[in-house]
Structures are given as structure tokens and as C-alpha cells.
Structure 1
């Protein structure tokens, strides 16, 4: 058992919550979905978590078989945390939960967002119909994190790292890019304010930014 508390319920959902239902557990998993990270990287990307809680969550997730530790080969020689194959199966669950949560009328769309969370939001909120006929390659530099993205006839792929000869490069903090894609902020205003830097085909960038959308807020019952 990964946590000291349990629902003592045979339901698979209840047992899943025994394993990853503690506060911060799923967010730790979220931050590892794009690849391994060092403890310090997790602390940076989850600024609200205490060192004590992060250590406990990692220990619990490792005990549950969701996360494991390994040491990178030289010259890095750094210890990192990584999701197991079973742990990686949580990605569609986390993405579906994120899209469900985004429909809450109380969702703060202008709150801070980590690079990993932002990239996962792109995977989640991509609109294949809007991308019909689009063929382009992009680089995103989100702070110290770089990603390469490809859009090809309604299919979107994005992963860590750079690529050769991208059609355009977008650089800036994830909060700024999210404000343009999801918050309706004008791209030109964001670049003039030095929040974003764009190189390459501006038309391709504008098209890219239009390929993602959050779901509509859930309807609320009428009070009688």
C-alpha cells in the first residue's frame, strides 16, 4: 500500500486513489510524464510543494510501483525520478481529468503553469479539424526547457528537445504562451511586451496558436 490511509474498498477506482490520491501525488506524476527529472527540477516545477511532502510522495509512488529512481550515466551522474511503464499509463487519465477540470466555472485560466503542464495541455486541447492541411514543425523554448512539435494533417506531436530547420521558433514562459493560446491575448502585444520572442514564419505561428482551445465551462443549474 502506497499510503498509510486506505479506503479498504475492492473497487479499482478506490484502490487507484489509495495509490495516487494523496495531495500532490498526481501532480508529481504529471511532471514526470515527459521524461525523468531530478528532485530539484520537481521542486522548481511544483513551487507550492514542501520538500518534506515531495519526499514523501516520491517514496510512496516508488513503493506503489508508479515511479522508480535511477542514476544517469556519465558525465551527468545525476539521480533522477522516472515513471514506470505502468505509471506512464496515467497520462490519458491525467489529460482527461485536466480537460474535465478546465470546464469548471471556477477554473483560474490565468494562474501559473509549469512547462510540462503546458505541453500536456497542448496534447489535450489540440483540435485535429482545425489542423486539417497544416504541415509545419516548431520549436518551443519555455524557460530552460525546449520542445519540438510537429503538425501534420490533423496529427500533433510534441516532445522534449530541439529539431533541425523548424518553420518557426517560439520562446517565452509558459504562462505568457498560455495567455495567448487560451486567454485571448494578442500575439503581437505579447511580443511587443517582450513576453514572447518569435523567429521564422509568423503566419505559421498564428496558425499554430489557433489549433488549441479549452472546453466550454460546464452549465450551472438555475437557482429557483
Structure 2
């Protein structure tokens, strides 16, 4: 923390801001919530950050024990960054912050959204409706990124990876998925236009997307949702 301006305040909130309040720090954490990433993967998810700034923020967060460096198992063996167990506790905190930001009555969110951010939004916005007692597994591909989404007993789990035997597979791009999630475009229209491809149980996919639609406005009472406990980084937004 040497050389950084900090709040001279003993409050826990002020201390948290000393640790993760620098520009880009929270977004770097967001990109690691679903699992570890290489330096180049982080730059891809955060195109607005320069390599020097990213390196500095990674050093800061490592010094604060929020993240650590690791190596993926062979044969990949890539050097990656992952959240520590303590850093992973930020998952629910950032989910709540994202919900609060999306419900702003003043300036609506705009700009590019990363694949991890969209999938974290799917998890955060999940509001079970009707009979959600059955289990369904989805593989969602956004560009080159792949995610496994599991819904069981009105709970949702999202992780990065390829599902071994999904009930439904959806492939699209981040812009199209963002439009579907926000309600600006229907899944059926995206499929007809060739902006997305899907196979398997499309009705289950429609139900999933309907349960993770646009967040309620500030005038509405926020719905409570059940989610899995934050997973240890193994990779998130």
C-alpha cells in the first residue's frame, strides 16, 4: 500500500476502499469471480485498461491477499491469477452492488459488457418462478468463452467450463446475449436472425432467461433469490 493515498479512517468500509477502491480493482475482481484467468484473458475482458495499469492493480490486490498467482494443471500449465478464499467472499458483495447499480433511477448503465459480467448478471438476477424443482444444465457460449449453468431446487450455479452432458446448449455473442437478458430482443428472434444457435430443451432455456430478466425498478420491492455459496476460485460477471 506504500505510495497510495488512503483514507485516514478506522471504519471497515474505509479500509475496504483502501484495499479495493482504486480504479479497475473491483472490475479485475469481477473478472475472477468465476475462476482463474491469464493476464491476456483479463485484458480481453477489460479492454480499457493498459498493461502497466493492470500489472500494478494485480500487484496491489495480491499484496492485499485478495488474489494470488497460480498455475493451471498440465498439460495447460498456464500461469493465472485467482481469488483467494478471502477474495472470493466478495462475490455476494459485488452481486449486491451490481443489483444496486442496475436499479439506478438517474443514469442507466451503458457501454461494453464482458462475457463474465453477463454471466454474473444471469446468476445475480435469477428469480425462481413457478416449478423450479427439476434440475437442468445449460452450456452457454459467448464468443470463445464457455459457461456451465445448473439450476436445481430453485437455485442457480454458474461456472466457467464445458458441460459434459447439457440439456440445452446456446451459442451467441455478448451483444446479443445482453439484448436478450435486458428484454430488448427475444431469443426466438435472435435464433431466426442467425445471431444465436441453440440445441436441446429450448423451453427450459426460455424459462431460465425469463427468471433472469431485467431487474426491478427502485420503486419495486427487490425479490430475494437463493444462490449457491461462493465457490472457491478454481474463474465472475
TM-score (norm. length: structure 1): 0.90
Distance 1:218 1:82 in 2: 34
User: Greater Rg, structure 1 or structure 2?
Assistant: 1
Distance 1:107 1:138 in 2: 30
**Residues 214 and 131 of structure 1: is their aligned pair in 2 closer, same or farther, counting only changes over 3 Å?**
farther
Q: Does 1:67 align with 2:67?
A: yes
Tell me, yes or no, if the aligned pair for 1:19 and 1:61 is still in contact at 8 Å: yes
Structure 2 unmatched ranges of 5 or more? 220-237
Give the alignment of 1:1-224 within 5 angstroms.
1=1, 4-105=4-105, 106-108=107-109, 111-130=111-130, 132-218=132-218
Could you tell me how far 1:213 is from its partner in structure 2?
Answer: 2.5
Distance 1:182 1:217 in 2: 13
Tell me, yes or no, if the aligned pair for 1:2 and 1:18 is still in contact at 8 Å: no
Instruction: Name the SS for the 2:136 alignment partner.
Output: strand
Tell me, yes or no, if the aligned pair for 1:2 and 1:61 is still in contact at 8 Å: no
Instruction: Name the SS for the 2:211 alignment partner.
Output: coil
Distance 1:107 1:171 in 2: 27
Aligned length: 218
Distance 1:79 1:112 in 2: 27
Could you tell me how far 1:11 is from its partner in structure 2?
Answer: 0.3
The CA RMSD measured in Å over matched residues stands at 1.8
Tell me, yes or no, if the aligned pair for 1:131 and 1:155 is still in contact at 8 Å: no
**Residues 130 and 47 of structure 1: is their aligned pair in 2 closer, same or farther, counting only changes over 3 Å?**
farther
Could you tell me how far 1:184 is from its partner in structure 2?
Answer: 3.2
Distance 1:27 1:115 in 2: 13
Could you tell me how far 1:131 is from its partner in structure 2?
Answer: 5.4
Could you tell me how far 1:55 is from its partner in structure 2?
Answer: 1.0
Instruction: Name the SS for the 1:137 alignment partner.
Output: strand
Structure 1 unmatched ranges of 5 or more? 220-224
**Residues 92 and 129 of structure 1: is their aligned pair in 2 closer, same or farther, counting only changes over 3 Å?**
same
Distance 1:50 1:132 in 2: 43
**Residues 204 and 129 of structure 1: is their aligned pair in 2 closer, same or farther, counting only changes over 3 Å?**
closer
Distance 1:181 1:175 in 2: 10
TM-score (norm. length: structure 2): 0.85
C-alpha offsets along residues 172-223 of structure 1, whole Å, 9 cap, x if unaligned? 112211211223312121112222111112222211211113323336xxxx
Distance 2:173 2:75 in 1: 29
Which structure is higher in RCO with an 8 Å CA cutoff and minimum separation 6? 2
Partner of 1:222: none
